[in-house]
Amino acid sequence: MLLLCIYTAEAFANVDRPPIDTLVTDANFAPAKMDLRPYIAVSADEKSTLWPPENFQHQNHIFHPGIKNNGQVNDCWLKLVVKNTSSKALSYRFFTGWHDCMYWYRQPAGQPMQQLMATGLMIDDGGVERWHHYAFHLQVAPNETCTFYLHIINKSYNENPMMPVLFSEEAYNIFHDEQLDSFRKEAVIIQVLLGMLLVFFSISIINYVQLPDRSYLYFAAYILGLILFFALRLDSKPFQLSFFHEWPMLKYYWDIPGLLFCFYLMYLLFGNAFLNLKDRYLFMEKGFTWMAAVVGGLIILCMLCIAFDKYHLPTIIYSYVYFLTLAPLLAVFIALARRSRHHPLVRFFLYGSACLYLACLGSFLLQVKPLGLLGALGELAAPTTLLMGGVLLQAMFFLAGLSYRNKLVHLERTRTQELLIKQLNKNKELQRKLNEQLEELVREQTTEILRKKQELEEQRKIQLETEYDKKLTEIELKAIRAQINPHFIFNCLNSIQLFVMQRDYELAQKYLSDFSYLIRKTLDFSRRNFISLSEEITYLNTYLGLEKMRFENRMEYEIVVDPEIIAAELEIPAMLLQPYVENAVKHGMTNPKQPTGLLRIYFNQVAPDMLECVIADNGIGIARSKSLRTLPKHHQSSGMEISQNRAELLNKMYRTDIHIEIIDKSVEDEANSGTIVKIFIPQL
């Protein structure tokens, strides 16, 4: 054992010895741990298209025992040539550190190169056992020379330690245990932190169920983002059980974006809702909202950079955001601190924010000395113990602030309930007084209602009498119209009888056809109170045509309508004009001085709401007709009398003013004979 320790110490002390192209082993070769830097040739030519490249050189500057900032992707090949001169097979483990992508190749002398293993933090999803994949088996048969290649690609901003070491199986097991003990403490701290964050998350959800408020949702989202962030940190701690080992790239996607989401986006949204900035500090609320929108865009930008293998850009973005927001946040803290006396919730927000940002700043300053400024910037996202303590304190202050806010809400509710009870007591007293006033008012209103009821009863009686009179008038009108129909049919049948007696069957047939049309229209009009003027004109044309045939063309008629009248839209009472036209035909066509009887009917619009109907004939006149009448004394021509009665009933029923004037032209001028009937029909 003493000799082994001396040999190992000599091997590590001989780091600066000249480089050797081939590692030659013999029967006495038995180191437990050996530095391979003198035997490793390196090729870092990114322009080379050969696989593997040919320009290998000894470059010891590429190796480093700690985290190193590259500023770009490090794509390099390591070449190790081993010659085994002993009679036993050589079996060791080759270890260079934990890197993003690693590909292990073996090429025996005179044979093609073959890939033995592919592993790395970005591609290995082998669970806990994946940490054993980073120590590659180096096996060389007796009296054989073999070349080994290791292709390393580090895409992230900072590169983990890269030191090529050759371990024996026993020494590697010891190294494994040392690494396990080294990372176990930090992993235990992370697991404890995850447990506490889960408790905070559960409390926030329970409080939200009891008191729905957006600040609880933002706090729960903030805690959930932290849980995911720290749970993914276990995936980068060797020999630890990770919850997300099946997705090795997830820890990169939620590295910088997770910090921006938790420490900026959710922080700003939580502060906005928790402090109720919209009602208290409107300008600050707009600043928080605008900044949250910018951070949301940066989160998407960082994820896109990672998707396109630009892993150093998210770290640079986070570094700029971190330093550029220090001064504005400090100004916000000072502005809030001045108003903390009037707003006690500000204190909880300020204390929690100060704990986190002081922890971040302290963690950054502690890493500047060993890593340098650029390296420390790359490790801003590293969850150091100081940073985890700051996160825990911030979450505790925020949760305490939410609890205090619940207390304030409860006190406000209690105060409100007390005020409501006092107000209810006042309302009861006021209600008693109002009841007394209402009782008095009810008595007065009851008297008034009884009086109104009596008046309504009287009005109801008057209304019933009016309706009764209206219905009676309608019944009388129907009875009068029923008198018109038989009178008209009797006159028409006399005409048909005359044609039959004269044996003019063809004319009688035509007369019967037109007469049937008139009968249908007469029956139709008898059921209607009003018809259009166009229907009345058609009806009169048909009737006068029949009368003209009966008088054997010794009669002429003319119907003239004012051009301004729209006959299809204007309405007049049904069967009102027919009796006057019938009298003009029957008694006005017997003038011996006139060989041809002439009947003219005019429709004039004498006013916007008044229609004038003029029926003029050149007969013997009213006086002459009465003196020559040869009918029995008991006979009475009731057509015009019925029409006059209808006009009076219509005036009474519809409160209108249908006016009828009958003029005997012979009274004014004996040389001129005939009758003029003027009927004025107002438009309803």
Question: For 73-100, how does the pLDDT look when each residue is reduced to its tens digit (9 = 90+)?
Answer: 888 999 999 999 988 889 999 999 999 9
Mean pLDDT score, 43-53: 69
Q: Cβ distance 232 to 117 under 8 Å?
A: no
For residue range 355-396, list pLDDT tens digits in order. Answer: 888 887 787 777 776 666 655 655 655 667 888 888 889 889
Residues 375 and 251 in one domain: yes
In this structure, is residue 161 part of a structural domain?
yes
CATH number at residue 10: 2.60.120
Residues 243 and 349 in one domain: yes
In this structure, is residue 255 part of a structural domain?
yes
In this structure, is residue 425 part of a structural domain?
no
Shortest CA distance to 289 belongs to which of 275, 301, 302? 275
| Percent composition of the chain: helix, strand, coil (DSSP 3-state, to 5) | 60, 15, 25
Number of structural domains the chain divides into: 4
For residue range 147-205, list pLDDT tens digits in order. Answer: 999 999 988 877 889 999 999 999 999 998 888 888 888 888 888 889 999 999 998 88
| C-alpha to C-alpha distance for 405 and 428, rounded to whole angstroms | 34
In this structure, is residue 423 part of a structural domain?
no
Residues 203 and 191 in one domain: yes
For residue range 462-504, list pLDDT tens digits in order. Answer: 887 777 666 656 655 555 554 455 655 676 677 677 767 777 7
CATH number at residue 599: 3.30.565.10
pLDDT score of 12: 40
Task: Using the structure block, give the residue that is written with the tokens 């060791």.
Answer: 92
In this structure, is residue 467 part of a structural domain?
no
Residues 210 and 347 in one domain: yes
Q: Hey, what are 665's tokens?
A: 């032209």
pLDDT band for 7, please (50, 70, 90 cuts).
very low
Among 527, 560, 594, the domain-final residue is 527
Residues 196 and 336 in one domain: yes
Residues 201 and 145 in one domain: no
Detail the DSSP E strand segments found in 409-546. Answer: 530-532
Residues 555 and 496 in one domain: no
- For residue 615, give the amino acid letter: I
Structural domain range at position 287:
181-411
For the chain, what is the radius of gyration of the CA atoms? Answer: 58
In this structure, is residue 280 part of a structural domain?
yes
Shortest CA distance to 134 belongs to which of 184, 97, 108, 100? 97
| C-alpha to C-alpha distance for 602 and 559, rounded to whole angstroms | 6
Among 392, 411, 430, the domain-final residue is 411
Shortest CA distance to 153 belongs to which of 126, 123, 112, 132? 123
pLDDT score of 59: 86
Residues 155 and 199 in one domain: no
pLDDT band for 14, please (50, 70, 90 cuts).
very low
pLDDT score of 615: 92
Residues 403 and 516 in one domain: no
Helix (H) or strand (E) holding 235: none
Residues 18 and 40 in one domain: yes
In this structure, is residue 371 part of a structural domain?
yes
Residues 15 and 89 in one domain: yes
Residues 550 and 623 in one domain: yes
Shortest CA distance to 226 belongs to which of 392, 443, 56, 404? 392
Among 141, 167, 193, the domain-final residue is 167
For residue range 651-673, list pLDDT tens digits in order. Answer: 877 778 888 888 887 776 666 77
In this structure, is residue 475 part of a structural domain?
no
